[in-house]
């Protein structure tokens, strides 16, 4: 079932299509890859709008580091009562108006944007008219191409360009993971093992997703993970984690 066949979502998709095409047309005098540049600019606009969530994330990480000694005290005090420990830990986070899962918020907010971009370069027609975006290219590779699709067709150029996107995302993700690795806090049961693993895996899940989505959506992902790294480096200097 195609969710975008429903009238409200179809109208939203057509609106996104019209906006992207208008921006691409305006950029056409500057470059042959005007649609790709339009995707990059849209990504930058989305990320700029999400700066407040990035600041909130940096504050949450700072708060979590500050709470580490108190969390260790709770672990010692309630080490034989896991239910009480979890309850007290959650209460501590509530009192500080933060959450150990705050780092997931920017990723979750951007999911609908990636979904729209994915759909835009997947449908041959949108709202009953041909999808002209499928004719747009980057380095000669259609923006609707995927890494797996290029591999199956034996499209060398498509494989190289799409693979480059995936590799860049993976490299930036690894740099981010190493730079912002959170030290485990004993007794921090508010972050279950599954959730903790999910946060650590998000950097690599993005690279895996990029192998399946159209090149245009991959462009969005590579720009957003690079922005995220730069933003977090800046915010870490503004909101440094306290020494514990």
User: Any residues with CB less than 8 A from the CB of 130 and at least 6 apart, and which?
Assistant: 124
DSSP code per residue over 170-219: HHHHHHHHHHTPPPP-TT-TTS-HHHHHHHHHHHHHHHHHHTTS-HHHHH
Residue 13 and residue 36: Cα distance in Å, rounded?
18
| Paired tokens of 30 | 């500057």
Average pLDDT for 75-85: 80
Left, alpha or beta for 184 (phi > 0: left; psi -120 to 50: alpha)? beta
Query: What is the DSSP pairing of strand 137-138 with strand 141-142?
Result: antiparallel
DSSP character for 141? Answer: E
**DSSP SS3 for 125:** strand
Whether the full predicted model's pTM is greater than 0.85, yes or no, is no
Residue 87 and residue 89: Cα distance in Å, rounded?
5
Tell me what the pLDDT averaged over the chain comes to.
81
* pLDDT tens for each residue of 43-73: 999 889 888 878 877 777 777 777 778 888 8
Average pLDDT for 25-30: 94
pLDDT for residue 242 = 63
């Amino acid at each position: 079932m195609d969710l975008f066949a429903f009238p409200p979502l179809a109208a939203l998709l057509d609106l996104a299509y019209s906006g992207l095409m208008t921006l691409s047309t305006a950029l056409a005098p500057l470059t042959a890859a005007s649609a790709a540049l339009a995707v990059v600019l849209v990504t930058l606009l989305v990320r700029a709008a999400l700066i407040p969530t990035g600041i909130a994330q940096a504050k949450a990480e700072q708060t979590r580091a500050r709470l580490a000694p108190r969390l260790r005290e709770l672990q010692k005090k309630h080490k034989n009562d896991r239910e009480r420990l979890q309850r007290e830990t959650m209460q501590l986070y509530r009192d500080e108006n933060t959450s150990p899962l705050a780092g997931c918020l920017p990723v979750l907010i951007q999911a609908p944007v990636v979904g729209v971009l994915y759909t835009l370069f997947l449908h041959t027609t949108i709202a009953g008219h041909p999808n002209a975006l499928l004719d747009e290219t980057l380095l000669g590779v259609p923006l609707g191409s995927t890494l797996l699709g290029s591999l199956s067709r034996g499209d060398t150029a498509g494989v190289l360009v799409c693979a480059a996107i995936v590799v860049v995302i993976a490299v930036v993700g690894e740099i981010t993971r190493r730079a912002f690795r959170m030290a485990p806090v004993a007794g921090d049961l508010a972050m279950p093992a599954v959730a903790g693993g999910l946060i650590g895996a998000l950097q690599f899940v993005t690279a895996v997703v990029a192998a399946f989505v159209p090149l245009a959506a991959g462009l969005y992902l590579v720009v957003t993970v690079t922005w995220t790294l730069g933003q977090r480096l800046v915010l870490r200097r503004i909101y440094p984690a306290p020494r514990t």
